[in-house]
Amino acid sequence: MFKNLKNDLDAFLERDPAARSRLEVYLLYSGFKAVRSYRLAHWFYKHNMKFIARWISQNARRRTGVEIHPGAQIGRGLVIDHGMGVVIGETTIIGDNCTIYQNVTLGGTGKDHGKRHPTLGNNVLVGTGAKVLGPFKVGDNARIAAGAVVLNEVPADCTAVGVPARIVRKGGVKVDTLDHIHVSDPVAQQMCKLEYEIDVLKKKLEELEK
């Protein structure tokens, strides 16, 4: 328990530039409090005391704005930055050293039974407002851009962008960045290119008409 506590505290210090000390994170950070409450609730859940587990998780939801089902499986070093509006479903699996921003949903589609929520690998970043819906895998070192809606598997070392999300490959190289805003959208880039070419053609037609 104490090892997990230290890992979670150190993760916030490493990935949140505003964090100044372990004491500050422990006492003041709602994302950390949500993770700490989850770990307690998960212990009760595993020992078949599900009512107590749900009571702890719902109490944490009221205090932090983060709802983590006690049945979820979460690895070391999870950072929930700001936290408000985050929802993590019952059969979600989250690997080590993942980062989740506010208003993220790791949920189901409403059609599945059994495993119905996503699995995140290690070192995954999920940007502000992103929705990851369904029982598929998001690979190690993947990034999900802010506002993306992910409905299918994301391979390792890739970035998912847009609604519905599309994959931008990164050449199999881990991207060591927390930037989930300034990411390339290949469809948007192609649309801009087509718009430019249409403008050029319009000008040529106007010149021919004169």
Whole-number average pLDDT of the chain: 87
56-107 pLDDT tens trace: 999 999 999 999 999 999 999 999 998 899 999 999 999 999 999 999 999 9
Q: Evaluate if pTM is beyond 0.85.
A: no
> Over 90: is that where the pLDDT of 142 sits?
yes
Closest CA to 29 of 19, 40, 39: 19
Could you state, in order of their start, the residue ranges of all structural domains in the chain? 2-180
Share of the chain above pLDDT 90, in %: 59
Assign 173 a pLDDT band (cuts: 50, 70, 90). Answer: low
Fold of the domain spanning 2-180: UDP N-Acetylglucosamine Acyltransferase; domain 1 (2.160.10)
pLDDT band at 179 (very low <50, low <70, confident <90, very high): low
